[in-house]
Chains A and B, each alone.
Chain A
Amino acid sequence: GQQLNQSPQSMFIQEGEDVSMNCTSSSIFNTWLWYKQDPGEGPVLLIALYKAGELTSNGRLTAQFGITRKDSFLNISASIPSDVGIYFCAGLTRDMRFGAGTRLTVKP
């Protein structure tokens, strides 16, 4: 099945820095979602995007639904240690497809 291309695979940043990650696909999606997964736990939904061009914020998180409907990005501003985890993008049409994840490490 169609998987999403998510980059970067991993990031090592200093506390306080901003983070940006993105997801691309050759397929069009009706909805883009971003999840965070803590070690040994299930993913938790961070942001959902429903319309091409939509820009949505949730606290320090900002995500955009690409105008072509084939991509999305997630920004985290002023990172803190609890931002550590794996961030997944997901695209939804009839079913949900996931990126391989971006592993974020935040150094205090």
Chain B
Amino acid sequence: DGGITQSPKYLFRKEGQNVTLSCEQNLNHDAMYWYRQDPGQGLRLIYYSQIVNDFQKGDIAEGYSVSREKKESFPLTVTSAQKNPTAFYLCASSISSGDWGYTFGSGTRLTVV
């Protein structure tokens, strides 16, 4: 079955450490996205990628980095520069940028301890 997989489901990080969240899709989608979700707020866009080897900053990119070396994979690194990293992170993909068919992963909950 095609889908989008995020791992791990839960992640704990010590202050000052970088951590990488995995997102893999086998839907053959060109576009991939990372969103952050905080309680009581909508999803905020961190980074997006329209095609392999290309990515763009979203609304809240500071303290995050991404790479898109393969079509299937779009890992997100939460760096020590991110001041408030504890949140629920969602990865999504779509056939192309601007396509309505966003498929979401099941999310990674990151907690800084």
Residues of A within 8 A of B (CB): 1, 3-4, 6, 9, 31, 33, 40-45, 48, 50, 88, 90, 92-101
By a CB distance below 8 angstroms, the chain B residues around A101 are: 40, 42
- B106 sits at the interface (CB 8 A): yes
Interface size on B, residues (CB 8 A): 24
The answer to whether B106 touches A95, judged by C-beta atoms less than 8 angstroms apart, is no
Question: Nearest chain A CB to B2's CB is how many angstroms away?
Answer: 15
> Number of A-B pairs whose CB atoms are under 8 Å?
55
A41 neighbours in B (Cβ, 8 Å): 106-107
The residues of B with any CB-CB pair to A shorter than 8 Å are 6, 9, 35, 40-45, 48, 58-59, 90, 92, 97-98, 100-102, 104-107, 109
A98-B43 in contact (CB<8A): yes
Taking a contact as CB atoms closer than 8 A, the residue among B43, B48, B92, B105 that contacts A88 in the complex is B43
Within 8 Å CB of A9, what residues of B?
A: 40
Contact between A92 and B98, CB atoms less than 8 A apart: yes
In whole angstroms, how far apart are the Cα atoms of A88 and B109 in the complex? 19
